[in-house]
Structure 1
Amino acid sequence: MTSTNKLQAELTDAGNKLHLSSSTPDILNILTQMEKVLSRVQRPPSNAMVKVLYPIIQALIAKKLVRHPDVNVNISVVCCICEIIRIMEPNAPFSREHMKEFFEVLVTSFEKQSCASGGSCGKMTKVLEIFRKARLPVMMLDVRVEGLVGRLFKQFLTSADLNTSATLLEMEKIMTMIIEESKELAPDLETLIIATLDKIDSPVCWQLGKKVLRNCAGKLQPRLPDMEAKETIPCTSETSNLRKDTTHKIKVECLEESIDTDRVNHLGLHTEDGQKTVSSDDPSMPSKSVTEVMGKRKRNNEQVLPFATGNYSSMAVQGVPRKVSYSMTHVQGYKVKKINGPILEAIFKKHGDIASDCVVKTASLRESILEVVCEVVKRIQTNDVATIVSDMEEIEMQVLDAEATNMKVAWLRAHLEAIQKRTAAQKMSTSIVKMKANTTLVKRAAKMDLEERRIELLTAQEQFEKAERCVEVLDLVEMKLNDNFVESEAEKDLWPEQPIL
């Protein structure tokens, strides 16, 4: 057996086991084995190798793996998918929607890697290298997942001091590649970097941000002198408060899709005249020129980055400028739309302050997440199952984003799981009804066939009986002929032999 055939056999075996395995330890062992084998496959793959990879690709994009609750499984899945993308390059082994889901799992895995056990950090460094070499950061721009790009940048910047120098270099190259390849998103990413670093006191994180901005200086013209000046100031509570107190107020014109103010609030842009005033409680903002570019650029069919947190991919906005007005109310210190006030009060009454452990410190952003939770509750309360099911993917993403910020929405998750079980039961019931109808039709056809066969059998039976009687008659005739033959022979022997004359 050649080495190529051996690799194909090993991959086929791993793929078959992956389809059958259900326990987390088994899945991890199989994925680890598969990753090692995939890393030995050379490019370009033969037709035989492509056929072997196809069932593995289908298994890796199955919901039970890409949405597996164990972060180590997520990371292993990402490793295997990255290897397959490397092998199949430049051909795309996955659809556009599957790539979006892959990028979601990838970014979420980066966000969770500090909590993962085992050799996850080493795996993630390898993933970053393959991710960059396959130019997957550019593909993120092609499939328009700007929210995930923002989350990726924020994760790199906030976790830089937890990684090795090799990993930091890969992070720097990836961030630089995205900014250089993005024409319209670059200013937003610059603002995201500066706004994120404004809240971080780690020199390592600052160095990473500075290097990225310097690498892209020709395109961004960032305010590096301001950053360097800030870095030289020792980080104390006094200097931190001073930076907050001196943050000037800037009005940023909102972008929203239409009168649908719910989606506007997803970014925390709560105003009465369609504008937002950034107060000293919000994250420090860059100079007016950069901020106004971010706020006023009118881009059709493009998401606006949630620059303060980068954690809300499903809460981004598409659209055109429009003035919006709506009344606000306060619920236990949170400013929300008046229409959502009663819902939030009911939530707090039953489940307490669900935002008490939220990792997002900016009040407006916490309020925007609460708005989203209220909107999800409103959708569920309508009991419009058809609409809820059709919007389930979006609702699921919004709840995942809320969970990512430590928002206490386990009770909401329970409702979603109940709805999903109900939907699955409904689908099963519908499937059974269809199968029953099909069975009735097949049974009817089978009965007709049985009747035809019965008639054929009776006809054959009659023919058999006729043939049998015919044989019996012929037997009798044969016996009679035999008797006659014997008699004739006997008479022949008795005839006297006398001379005639």
Structure 2
Amino acid sequence: MSKNKAKEMELIELGKKLSKSQSKDALVKLLLQASTLLAELDQSPPQSTHNAMKGCSSALVSPSLLRHKDKEVGLLVAICISEIMRIVAPDAPYSDDTLKEIFQLIVTNFKGLDDVNSPSFSRRVNILETVAKVRSCVVMLDLECDDLILEMFETFFDTASDEQPHNVFVAMRNVLTLVLEESEKIPAAMVEVILKNLLKQKKEGSAARKLAIAVVEKCADKLEPYVRSFLTSVMVEGKSLDSGLHKDHHEVIFELYCCAPQLLSGVIPHINDELVKDKLNVRLKAVALLGRLFALPGRQFAQEYPLVFGEFLKRFSDKVVDVRVAVVNCAKAFMEANPTGEQASELLGALQDRLLDYDDKVRVAR
């Protein structure tokens, strides 16, 4: 008997046993055997292998297995099904309703990816890499599983950890970017999840921040209209969001400019509107943002956006003392980053004028 024939016979027997009621221990043993056997099969095997898999494939999505309350059993079922989806890809082996349940089970098991010391960690990684490799996450888009996709996004960012091996980061990034690139329309909630994690600092989640940066860099063109819409609604229309992200929109702009500046070409000009707003707090935050952008090493923000720089210079003669002090304070970092050039010359001229400012707070600011 050939090796392939032996595997097919084993698959048939496993299918028969899995379709019968089993104790948890016996079930775990059978599922481990099935996962090992399925992992050995190549994609698009001969028809005889497809036929041999049918019993096993059907048993795995029976309510008794697909909805099993034991987490270990659920994880092993998810592994086996993900392997079957790999083997038959790009065909879908189940009905739409069954696939929705399968993806719910898979996403639920992703929630354990933060525990790298768990005995089941490698199994969860196996599911993740299989989903990324065969692009099965695209099927979730076809099934319009919007809420589940959002849950997967949140799960990846919540579980991302510096302790995870690099292949986990790569697989997460690939799944997220694939979903974004293949989406006909990206929901605002999904964009907010990415931007929220982009703002995370080292102490609260450096891995989530790295993942957000990687996704933004790879999907900048796709994200651009959605990010522009979000930021424009905040800056021009003054809209707020339930997430509270609108309060940090200046930080969002700064972080986006650092990793994907081309994404902001339609947003940066709106900073001019904030520089002339009657609300003092808005003007001060806009000045502070520009000060940071001007001082970025290796960047030429002032040259890229001369109209914005021109409006910034006008703030040297702002009617409010605090604004004039703020722009003077920004000047030092600007000059250190850009000691020469037309903009540096204009800035020096504006600074010299402030030496004669009627308020001593401005005259001594530096």
Aligned to 2:179: 178
Distance apart, 1:25 and its partner CA: 2.0
CA separation in 2, counterparts of 1:95 and 1:116?
34
Aligned to 1:448: none
Q: What amino acid is the match of 1:61?
A: V
Aligned to 1:333: none
Aligned to 2:208: 205
Distance apart, 1:120 and its partner CA: 1.6
Aligned to 1:218: 221
RMSD: 2.9
CA separation in 1, counterparts of 2:217 and 2:25?
44
Aligned to 2:308: none
Aligned to 2:160: 160
Q: Give the alignment partner of residue 245 of structure 2, picking from 284, 293, 313.
A: 284
Aligned to 1:26: 26
CA separation in 1, counterparts of 2:26 and 2:244?
45
C-alpha change, 1:82 and 1:194, in structure 2 (3 Å) is same
Say which one has the larger Rg: 1
Question: % of aligned pairs identical?
Answer: 27
For the 8 Å contact 1:71–1:112, the answer to whether it is kept is no
- Structure 2: give runs of 5+ residues left out of the alignment: 229-234, 253-366
CA separation in 2, counterparts of 1:101 and 1:183?
23
Aligned to 1:72: 72
C-alpha change, 1:152 and 1:93, in structure 2 (3 Å) is same
For the 8 Å contact 1:72–1:116, the answer to whether it is kept is no
- 1:153-179 Cα distance to aligned partner (Å, 9 max, x none): 111101111532111110011101111
Aligned to 1:125: 125
For the 8 Å contact 1:190–1:213, the answer to whether it is kept is no
Distance apart, 1:112 and its partner CA: 4.1
**Higher mean C-alpha deviation, range 22-31 or range 56-65:** 22-31
C-alpha change, 1:194 and 1:202, in structure 2 (3 Å) is same
Distance apart, 1:283 and its partner CA: 4.0
Distance apart, 1:216 and its partner CA: 0.7
CA separation in 2, counterparts of 1:203 and 1:116?
17
TM-score, length of structure 2 as denominator length: 0.59
CA separation in 1, counterparts of 2:97 and 2:116?
27
Indicate the SS of the match to 1:69.
Answer: coil
Aligned to 1:110: 110
When the two structures are aligned, how many residues end up with a matched partner? 240
Q: Where does 1:467-486 land on structure 2 (aligned, <5 Å)?
A: none
Aligned to 2:292: none
CA separation in 1, counterparts of 2:52 and 2:117?
31
Aligned to 2:5: 5
CA separation in 2, counterparts of 1:43 and 1:119?
27
- Structure 1: give runs of 5+ residues left out of the alignment: 225-246, 253-276, 291-501
- 1:218-264 Cα distance to aligned partner (Å, 9 max, x none): 2213879xxxxxxxxxxxxxxxxxxxxxx9x9646xxxxxxxxxxxx
Distance apart, 1:3 and its partner CA: 0.8
Aligned to 1:194: 195
